[in-house]
Amino acid sequence: MRYLPLSDADRRAMLDAIGVASVDDLFADVPAAARLSGPVEGLPMHMTEMAVERQLGGLAKQNLAAGDAPFFLGAGAYRHHVPSSVDHLIQRGEFLTAYTPYQPEIAQGTLQVLFEFQTQVARLYGCDVANASMYDGSTACWEAIGMARRITRRTRAILSAGLHPHYVSVCETMAKFTGDALDTAVPTLDGAGDDMARLLATIDDQTSCVVVQNPNILGAIADLSELAEACHAKGALLIVVVTEPVSLGAIKSPGEMGADIVVGEGQSIGVGLQFGGPYLGLFATRDKYVRQMPGRLCGQTVDADGKRGFVLTLSTREQHIRREKATSNICTNSGLCALAFSIHMTLLGEKGLRELAALNHAKAVAAADVLAQVPGVEVLNDAFFNEFTLKLSKPARPIVRDLADRNILAGVALGRLYADTSLENGLIVAVTETTTEEHVATLASALREALA
Amino acid sequence: MTINQSGWRPEAPLANGAGDQPTFTGNRALMLEEPLLFEIGSTDRTGVDFEPAPSLQGGEGRGEGGQTSWWGTLTQPSPQGERANRLGNLERGAINLPGLSEPETVRHYTRLSRQNYAIDLGVFPLGSCTMKHNPRLNERIARLPGFADIHPLQPISTVQGALAVIHLVGEWLCTLTGMPAVAMSPKAGAHGELCGLLAIRAALEARGDARSVILVPESAHGTNPATAAFCGYAVENIPATAEGRVNVDALKARLGPDVAGVMITNPNTCGLFEREMIAICDAVHAAGGLVYCDGANFNAIVGRVRPGDLGIDAMHINLHKTFSTPHGGGGPGAGPVVFSKALAPFAPLPFVEQTPEGFRLVEEETAEDHHAQAFGRMVAFHGQMGMFTRAASYMLSHGADGLRQVSGDAVLNANYILRQLEDVLDAPFAASGPCMHEALFSDNGMAKGFNTLDIAKGLIDEGFHPMTVYFPLVVHGAMLIEPTETESKAGLDQFIGALRSVAERARAGDESLKSAPHFAPRRRLDETAAARSPILAQRYLADEDD
């Protein structure tokens, strides 16, 4: 077994040193009825590296990789080109095989990266501070609602109709158990999910927070400044969710528009699609709320020689110190994904991020204009970043399936996300720097056929 | 013993007396200082080239090859209005994100990486963390485009291989644990605990039996009580016995109609197997409660004991521990949860189902008919696919026979450490039977003023990562050592020799230990100052004006 260094002679010598006859004797405390006498039944025996590669490689080939097809899916996960150096650097064993930096003297690499990451996220979001990351955008969203509850001591949260429906589902699941009351709504195709009027009319002095996604699930962009003012007038917090961080290279940040907590998915930058995980939850807020924040935080300090260094800090919020009184039960962060994000963001810099965002937006605008010419297609959004929603003259889900059989990954049908049949003709289309002119032409002509 | 065969001792002054000589750069040969990104980068520098994009305000289009193309439509006014309005007139101002060129980026992160300890560098004996070797085959498998470059919402027909991997890992977990059902979506161990407790709560509510208390042994991980509290339960501690196991009498005495269940770690955090586990499960069930088992220490028993045979109802499995997915400096993890028959109907969405026509994904809009009791959704999408591929690679590589050898070697290595060190370090439960995959020591017997922290920092100077310290809380100055099965005997002997040496210095009151580490990239860091006035981000000038 290639991963096990002990030889039989080693094992014998060690058993002798311990003073037992066999390894089985070391399991004497396991009730005999529960002790297996041989390998677990029903599973194969060990395999060579080559055999494993052959078997799992075969399964990989049964999937249609995004890079092998015209590809237009978004809705919370986006395909961007990740520079090759990102993946090389995150595979440095000193990053890949390190643990949580609990011994800071020999973990300054991870810690400095986290400090830089926190700074990058805070600046991207227009906030004062960010944490060292959460599991993903959906769980970060739920944690933000819990944080608003602790700050305002209120339990009523208003969720925008434009919030990703999986995020809404996660919040609804958790709210069943925590007693938060969630005011939710399903988007309508008219106005591309804009429910600003509903949000403004619903905020009252029992509201802990309003949660709004920008750009929203249908791709629409909104100015949230008025909403922020309305929240603050009632003592509620504004939580803004960003599922496409690249958009912040072009669009005013939630912090600049008055958000109190900004959360989102960081997958777009550095992480890749990976069929939905692992992803990267981003979480930022204002200085004054930092002690109510969930998750790990890295802070700057000095060592015994006065040299600058970094440590995990404010851990009195966390479960390993506070146990049942912690701000969250979260223990890990999404460390390696945060590293990938930070490296990619460093490679981009402000210049690169702006160029990337401009390219995404320009291509999306051009694609929307091309698709709008197809009979039976209506583009719903006026303002959008790299994602927009089409209203087709027929239900979108069967069309998406048919196009997939022709190796075209056409987008996300709203029927995949919502049971509500009034949305079944909706198709969310994302266009990034990876989209080519040929891809758009292929999609346009396929839709032209499908809708004829 | 193979320590320092060169004869060089770190304490020895250098021959020319230059040991304290400052250098111009602050570097020490290969020990390199690295500034913050914000001190070396600038907002006009980038390491990524893009094809030019047209201005967001409109302007020149770029018909490729001079032909009219969709790209060329950018020069035309859009049907919906002026170009700028397509961003809602919300263009962003300065962001202040510094960038670096690619060579500078590679150097920045490579230099930072060298300030980290890692499994790849040596023994990483963190108890309850299972820092085993991360096979590189797993990394290769996870990066196959068929796994890495697929979108979570692609049509099901285009991701059959991915669903097959999720199903395969789920099947292995069920078989290895002897449990009938599994939820694959939880993102980490603590998230798995949450999944298990939510299922317990949903099951109790479904039978109209709302209960309010979760019992947690005092040796539990902090995530256990935090999770129970998050689910709205009151948490009550159950004491440990003098031999380091759950006090079964105290537990039985506390059971009653208000107790929803217990969360119990087995093998426990003292490194011992809970001998009475079957009796505990029976008693909890008889009192109408359910048993959550924290599977953090599954590596000790994988392939030898199926927790389902002990009578548990739910258990999370940290794929980043037992199944070798990389810890990555703190994540991402993965925490699938196996369920008993009683809890299976309440497992969360989504999940993968095998049908004669292929694999399907049961999500909200398809769940109603045959999974109406699912307690809901825990995450967007379907869980940590990138960890499932790695775990699948690990499982297939080892097979049932290899996994049995894994737990055998892990337990053998831990017992070897326990018996080689119990004469210099107090082992409070050495008489409680063989340890499982980790050996627990206390700081009793050190010279006055010397404690566990000093031993940990002394180990750093010896070139090792310290063990888990001050956990579990039931032992004074706890030191929990988990070597894992991927250490060689020679590597263990070197570690044992180093720890003996440090322990002897602590017993003798060697003052130089109080200021260790001396040879790490940093000396002891001022954590109090960090918490008193937190500096959590590098501020830029605009902020300093506020």
pLDDT tens digit string along B450-491?
999 999 999 999 999 999 999 998 899 999 999 999 999 999
Is there a contact between B534 and A299 if contact means CB atoms under 8 Å apart?
A: yes
pLDDT in tens, B357-388: 999 998 876 666 678 889 999 999 999 999 99
Provide the domain limits for residue B492. 406-523
Check whether B543 has a pLDDT greater than 50.
Answer: no
Chain B contact present for A46, CB below 8 A: yes
Mean pLDDT taken over chain B: 90
pLDDT of B22: 87
Helix, strand, or coil (residue B339): strand
- In this prediction, the answer to ipTM > 0.90 reads yes
Spatial CA neighbour of B143 closest among A48, A335, A272 = A272
B53 vs A156, residue with greater confidence: A156
- The answer on B516 and B438 residing in a single domain is yes
pLDDT of A193: 76
Q: CB-based contacts of B17: which residues, under 8 Å, 6+ apart?
A: none
Q: How far is A393 from chain B (nearest CA, A)?
A: 19
* Dist CA B448 CA A320 (whole Å): 28
- The answer on B456 and B327 residing in a single domain is no
* Dist CA A322 CA A326 (whole Å): 5
Q: B35 lies in a domain?
A: no
Chain B contact present for A12, CB below 8 A: no
Region B384-404 average pLDDT: 98
Query: Is the distance from CB of B307 to CB of B266 less than 8 angstroms?
Result: yes
The residues pairing with A413 across neighbouring beta strands, listed in sequence order, are A427
Q: Given pLDDT bands bounded at 50, 70 and 90, which one contains residue B542?
A: very low
Instruction: Give the CATH number for residue B471.
Output: 3.90.1150.10
Q: Given pLDDT bands bounded at 50, 70 and 90, which one contains residue B18?
A: low
* Dist CA B335 CA B319 (whole Å): 6
Is there a contact between B222 and A273 if contact means CB atoms under 8 Å apart?
A: no
Query: What's the total number of domains in chain B?
Result: 2
Q: B44 lies in a domain?
A: no
pLDDT in tens, B314-343: 999 999 999 999 999 999 999 999 999 999
- The answer on B320 and B291 residing in a single domain is yes
* Dist CA B151 CA B382 (whole Å): 11
* B chain contacts of residue A63, beta-carbon cutoff 8 Å: 146-147, 150, 158-162
Most B CBs within 10 Å, among A15, A35, A54, A105, to test the B interface: A105
Query: Is the distance from CB of B144 to CB of A274 less than 8 angstroms?
Result: no
Q: CB-based contacts of B523: which residues, under 8 Å, 6+ apart?
A: A105, A303, A304, A305, A307, B515, B517
Check whether B19 has a pLDDT greater than 80.
Answer: no
Is there a contact between B87 and A300 if contact means CB atoms under 8 Å apart?
A: no
A298 vs B59, residue with greater confidence: A298
The predicted model scores a pTM of 0.95
pLDDT in tens, B514-536: 999 999 999 999 999 999 999 99
Instruction: Give the CATH number for residue B282.
Output: 3.40.640.10
| Token pair 């045959």: residue | B370
Region B188-197 average pLDDT: 94
Question: Residue B227's closest chain A neighbor by CA?
Answer: A329
* Dist CA B348 CA B364 (whole Å): 10
Chain A contact present for B177, CB below 8 A: no
- The answer on B360 and B280 residing in a single domain is yes
Sign of the torsion formed by the C-alpha atoms of B242, B243, B246 and B249? negative
Q: B165 lies in a domain?
A: yes
- The answer on B500 and B366 residing in a single domain is no
Is there a contact between B379 and A41 if contact means CB atoms under 8 Å apart?
A: no
Chain A contact present for B321, CB below 8 A: no
Question: Residue A96's closest chain B neighbor by CA?
Answer: B328
| Token pair 């979506």: residue | B185
Chain B contact present for A398, CB below 8 A: no
Indicate the burial class of B362 (C-beta count within 10 angstroms; 0-12, 13-18, 19 or more). Answer: middle
Please name the amino acid found at residue B261.
G
pLDDT of B6: 52
Last residue of a domain, one of B347, B364, B394: B394
Helix, strand, or coil (residue B102): helix
- The answer on B365 and B233 residing in a single domain is yes
Looking at 3.90.1150.10, 3.40.50.300, 3.90.75.20, 3.20.20.10, the CATH number of the domain A66-81+350-451 comes to 3.90.1150.10
Last residue of a domain, one of B342, B365, B394: B394
Chain B contact present for A21, CB below 8 A: no
Spatial CA neighbour of A214 closest among A231, A230, A232, A228 = A228
- The answer on B388 and B483 residing in a single domain is no
Tokens coding B338: 């196996």
Tokens coding B37: 């990104």
Indicate the burial class of A232 (C-beta count within 10 angstroms; 0-12, 13-18, 19 or more). Answer: middle
pLDDT of B68: 39
Query: A84-344 domain in CATH 3.40.50.300?
Result: no
Q: How far is A203 from chain B (nearest CA, A)?
A: 24
The DSSP letter of residue B182 is E
Identify which of A97, A139, A298 has the shortest CB distance to residue B326.
A97
* B chain contacts of residue A82, beta-carbon cutoff 8 Å: none
* Dist CA A409 CA B149 (whole Å): 13
* Dist CA A149 CA A153 (whole Å): 5
Is there a contact between B273 and A30 if contact means CB atoms under 8 Å apart?
A: yes
In the predicted model, residues of chain A with pLDDT beneath 50 are none
Region B106-130 average pLDDT: 97
* B chain contacts of residue A53, beta-carbon cutoff 8 Å: 137, 140-141
Q: What number of H helices and E strands is found in chain A?
A: 14, 13
| Token pair 């200085």: residue | A287
Residues in B 454-483 with any Cβ partner in A closer than 8 A: 456-457, 460, 465-466, 471
Is there a contact between A65 and B146 if contact means CB atoms under 8 Å apart?
A: yes
Is there a contact between A40 and B176 if contact means CB atoms under 8 Å apart?
A: yes
- The answer on B262 and B387 residing in a single domain is yes
Check whether B84 has a pLDDT greater than 60.
Answer: no
Is there a contact between B534 and A29 if contact means CB atoms under 8 Å apart?
A: no
pLDDT of B81: 43
Spatial CA neighbour of B35 closest among B123, B127, B117, B98 = B98
Question: Residue B140's closest chain A neighbor by CA?
Answer: A53
pLDDT of B220: 85
Q: How far is A343 from chain B (nearest CA, A)?
A: 7
Query: Is the distance from CB of B89 to CB of A387 less than 8 angstroms?
Result: no
Q: B45 lies in a domain?
A: no
Check whether B417 has a pLDDT greater than 70.
Answer: yes
pLDDT in tens, A39-60: 999 999 999 999 999 999 999 9
